[in-house]
Amino acid sequence: MSEYVLEMRDITKRFPGVLALDQAHLELRSGEVHCLVGENGAGKSTMMKILAGAQPADSGEILLDGAPTAIHSPYHAQQLGISMIYQEFNLSPYLSVAENIFLGREPRIGRSPFIDWQRMYRDAREVLARVKVELDVRRPVNELSVAQQQMVEIAKALSVQARIIVMDEPSATLTDHELAALFALIKTLRRQGIGLIYISHRLEEIFEIGDRVTVMRDGRHVATNAVCDVTREDIIRMMVGRTLTEEYPKEFFQRGAERLRVERLSRDGVFEDVSFSLHTGEIVGLTGLVGAGRTEVARAIFGADRKTSGQIYLDGAPIEVRSPRDAIRHGIGLLTEDRKNQGLVLGMTVRENTTLANLVAVLVGPFIDRRKERAVTDQYVRELQIKTPSMEQIVQNLSGGTQQKVVLAKWLFTNSKVLIFDEPTRGIDVGAKTEIFKLINALVRRGVAVLVISSELPEVLGICDRILVMHEGRLAGELSRQDADQEAIMRLATGIRAAAAV
Amino acid sequence: MENYLKRTEGAYGTRGLIVRRDSWKRAALTYGPLILALIVEVAVFEYIGWRQGKPGFASMNTMMLVLNQSAVFGIMAVGMTLVIITGGIDLSVGSLMACAGVACAMVVQWGGEPLWLWMAAGYAVALLLGACAGAFSGALVTWFRIPPFIATLALMSSLRGVGNLITEGKPISPMPDVYGRLGRFQIGGWLPVSVLVFAVVIAGGAILLSQTQFGRHVRALGGNEESARLSGINVGRVKRRVYLLCGTLTALSGLILSSRLGAGSPKVGVGDELAVIAAVVVGGTSLSGGRGGIGGTFVGLLVVAFLNSGLTWIGVETFGQQVTLGIVILAAVLLDRIKP
């Protein structure tokens, strides 16, 4: 019997123009939580796709329990006991929990084509009991919360006798409470001898749940350590290949005039009575637990959703914002949390995305002036250091950090006076994060008022001058940079001090 | 334009931006295989014809014939391409085309003298009808959020019924000779008026889609409607204009067809919506929206039209042509799949 349940040896994978994996390796023991970290493009996902049978490796071998194994397809991988849990779930929304768990493997009555519902529900309950989750197995999964859907995915993995489970950014959409439940579940799985590969950008989680951690960079294996032997700084250094002088490069500017003021903004059933102001020269943070209504407030200011009541003032004058169009005309921009579905047209080029929100500026009569459009794009590609082989590159093929810069270029080109960043660094690796923060600083220096919505408390504390905290649709309080720490924010966010708020 | 970040973060350098070569390469990748297929197709028919002792398929004569035959479908296909790029579909074009022809013929017959005046009135009524029908589809799709497939399916059925009701199912004929001019007259004895109209519509459509703000908005919202909306594009209005344009062009097709037939028939165009969609799809426009172009549609139309006339040339009749068209549609889509 081998020491490892899974060994990936000398895996090399070449894509046109890129060496995605260069003799990378990974060893997984049974009953351990093995964290896999690295910047975007480091090769984590390619490695996992090869393990899942979704892509063949060019060379290298995979050993299961010490025996060399070829994985031909995702289905084959599943049969071998390898399960993947992606950020986007592979659940069928209108089917029930039980139907999803046994999708494609429905128990039947004898050899007839009819489903043995009794047994399916009983088995589903058993599997859920194994992960200590209570759910009505007859409920359609679209009625479940994101966290519950994740539990169903995990139960599904267990029901196929998975010995190896890969979780790709499982925590990204979870609230703190749900995260705790997930960690408890992971610990249960670990006790049952299952090997877990855990991919996350949140380094804190590694120290909370991981046994060992493997760092990848540029398609190569950098190091594997026991989690207790390394520090957060060690990991970051290994990920970026250099010492990051400052993770949060904060610059201070003279606080200027009021740019945006929001008074008693409400949207029935979503948020209520939200008032605050943004000045030039400062970065204001808006934080709170997931579901507190932060994104919704931003969308209402931007005109993406209707507000029920309240007034918005720009440079002291009341403005009417009924649609994103109005907001853009007034110089307000929103960089949405979901870049791929709300910020970019993935099938279009860098150039086309850059000018999308302000095409008028490159028009000659009714026609688009391509030369002008290229000049504009070229300028932003250089200034924001957008890492693309060409401005004619389809943005789908760019990394998360690069895509975020393209979205930023789009809003800069609209001459925005107010920019709202919703989770600007979600899914972006450490190195690119710092770059985004530097760009935000540069914007503030140029007189843009900036609101940053973020769930990452270190980030909020690191870059903001003032911090607004929301709790259940209301502004629970405001903290200055001096008064703010994680504890103070969490107290407001969880409503402990809501009554005594500023 | 105010410059926010002028060289604030040190020297920015990116690799040289090779623009022109890229866009040429993409154009070649997009249309290359299709044009190649077209050339191969014509060559094959020429060869088989030659073996049968009937050379001369690949000639200007055939070309003009094919263009003339494609004109009616082609004009509709331009509107349909735009609709499909927004991620929608318009199933009502076959019925609408018939209605437009009927409306024009009725106006002309009812009016009498002076003929030119009533002809003009007939054209205007037909085009207005097309615009209204398109606007109605657009309104259903955007204001009432009815899926385009269903909205235009309903319209397809109703318009067919309307055409049959007002004519009691019989064609409006005979029409005066002048009525046939639009569909049959050849300028200088060689250039059919309908081909000229077709060429203008194709060129106009291609410019509209690739060079104007409107065209860019159409492609953006087809690629990702939510991103487009959050970029300040009035997606509803863009869509309504696209359907309106499609309806108007369909009416124009109806006028040409009715002129050719010398009658306003409520029975024409049954199933034509599918033939038009087929040409658009063969031309590489994706039914899921965002991807495609008028150039592709034009080549797609030619592939289908050359196929039909080529098969006739070598003696394969209608039933065989239908089978072959099906195979070509599949082949075109498969070709699209294996492209990088």
pLDDT surpassing 50 at residue A315: yes
Q: Which residues of B touch A384 (CB under 8 A)?
A: 5, 12
B334 at interface of A, judged by CB pairs closer than 8 A:
no
> Are B34 and B303 contacting, i.e. CB atoms less than 8 angstroms apart?
yes
What does CATH list as the number for A258-331+416-500? 3.40.50.300
Question: Each residue of A281-308: b (16+ CB within 10 Å) or e?
Answer: bbbbbbbbbbebbbbbbbbbbbbbeebe
Note the helical H segments in A63-170.
74-79, 97-101, 117-130, 146-159
Q: Which residues of B touch A303 (CB under 8 A)?
A: none
Interface contact A336-B230, CB threshold 8 A: yes
pLDDT band at A498 (very low <50, low <70, confident <90, very high): very low
Task: Over range A434-454, report the average pLDDT.
Answer: 91
- Number of A/B CB contacts below 8 angstroms equals 127
B212 at interface of A, judged by CB pairs closer than 8 A:
yes
Chain B residue with minimal CA distance to A393?
A: B22
Interface contact A390-B212, CB threshold 8 A: no
> Are A48 and A21 contacting, i.e. CB atoms less than 8 angstroms apart?
no
Interface contact A302-B216, CB threshold 8 A: no
Contacts of A376 (CB under 8 A, 6+ apart): A354, A355, A361, A362, A413, B1
Q: Determine the Cα–Cα distance for residues A148 and A267; give it in Å rounded to an integer.
A: 27
A265 vs A105 pLDDT, higher one? A265
Q: Which residues of A touch B226 (CB under 8 A)?
A: 341-342
Which of A346, A384, A390 is the closest to B224 by Cβ? A346
Reply yes or no: is the peptide bond before residue B176 cis, omega within 30 of 0: no
Chain B residue with minimal CA distance to A414?
A: B1
φ and ψ of A149, to 5 deg: -65, -35
pLDDT of residue A499: 45
Closest CA to B204 of B38, B33, B303, B74: B74
Which of B1, B23, B227 is the closest to A344 by Cβ? B227
Q: Determine the Cα–Cα distance for residues A431 and A9; give it in Å rounded to an integer.
A: 28
Contacts of B168 (CB under 8 A, 6+ apart): none
Token representation of residue A106: 């429905």
Q: Determine the Cα–Cα distance for residues A401 and A13; give it in Å rounded to an integer.
A: 23
pLDDT of residue A236: 80
Question: Each residue of A44-71: b (16+ CB within 10 Å) or e?
Answer: bbbbbbbbbbebebeebebbbeeeebeb
Closest CA to A177 of A291, A268, A38, A76: A291
pLDDT in tens, A418-443: 999 998 887 777 778 888 899 999 99
pLDDT surpassing 80 at residue A502: no
Q: Determine the Cα–Cα distance for residues B134 and A376; give it in Å rounded to an integer.
A: 37
Q: Which residues of B touch A304 (CB under 8 A)?
A: 229-230
pLDDT of residue A242: 63
Using DSSP, state whether A91 is helix, strand or coil: coil
pLDDT in tens, A196-225: 999 987 788 889 899 999 999 888 899 999
The ranges assigned to domains in chain A are 6-240, 258-331+416-500, 348-414
pLDDT of residue B28: 74
pLDDT band at A500 (very low <50, low <70, confident <90, very high): very low
Q: What is the DSSP letter of B168?
A: T
pLDDT of residue A40: 67
Highest mean pLDDT among A146-160, A396-410, B103-117, B240-254: B240-254
Mean pLDDT by 10 residues, chain B (340 residues): 38 39 67 86 90 84 87 95 96 96 93 87 96 96 95 96 92 87 86 94 94 94 92 94 97 95 91 92 89 92 90 87 89 73
Closest CA to A459 of A246, A280, A302: A246
B17 at interface of A, judged by CB pairs closer than 8 A:
yes
Q: Determine the Cα–Cα distance for residues A224 and A40; give it in Å rounded to an integer.
A: 18
Fold of B32-338: ABC transporter involved in vitamin B12 uptake, BtuC (1.10.3470)
Interface contact B231-A410, CB threshold 8 A: yes
Average pLDDT, chain A: 87
A227 vs A176 pLDDT, higher one? A227
Q: Determine the Cα–Cα distance for residues A51 and A49; give it in Å rounded to an integer.
A: 5
Interface contact B19-A392, CB threshold 8 A: yes
Q: What is the DSSP string of B272-305?
A: HHHHHHHHHHHTT--TTSS---HHHHHHHHHHHH
Question: Each residue of B276-312: b (16+ CB within 10 Å) or e?
Answer: bbbbbbbbbbbeebbbbbbbbbbbbbbbbbbbbbbbe
pLDDT of residue B14: 38
pLDDT of residue B19: 46
B10 vs A464 pLDDT, higher one? A464
Q: Which H or E run includes A334?
A: strand A332-335
Residues of B (20-39) whose Cβ lies below 8 Å from A: 22-23, 26
What does CATH list as the number for A6-240? 3.40.50.300
Radius of gyration from C-alpha coordinates of chain B = 22
Q: What distance lies between CA A416 and its chain's CA centroid?
A: 25
A224 vs A157 pLDDT, higher one? A224
Cα separations in angstroms, A289 against A183, A433, A452: 18, 21, 15
